[in-house]
Structure 1
Amino acid sequence: MSAEIVNLRQARKHKQRQTREKTAESNRQKFGRTKAEREADRRRRDMHEKQVDGHKLDGPATTPPGDN
């Protein structure tokens, strides 16, 4: 007739941890990206930035006021 003694605080924390882990796992599946996907995006972004920077025009040469 001996019953297992359960610390309710620890049991509550354990259940909360399990719930958070389930949520985290589902989020990883929904929103996670592989390293290859992140690298491809980074390379694509760098290429676009380089292209935009190469097409920038320099502004007109301005002379300081009073040098006319």
Structure 2
Amino acid sequence: MATKSKNRNKIAARKPCGRLVEDVQEEIVCKVKSGMLTKRAAGRKYGLPLSTIGNWQENII
């Protein structure tokens, strides 16, 4: 029985993990709060999990 291969990012294609400076975190949160980006779109653009962006929203202003 064959399973369908989902079109997901491969580990090699993902952006490297690392801490972002607070200025970049604030910029991402501001874009999400203003409606310029959704959390999902921001996660894809910056290579971040949705939970991380949600945590930033709680901690930043």
TM-score (norm 2): 0.22
Structure with bigger RCO (C-alpha 8 Å, 6+ apart): 2
Larger-Rg structure: 1
- Give the TM-score normalised by structure 1: 0.21
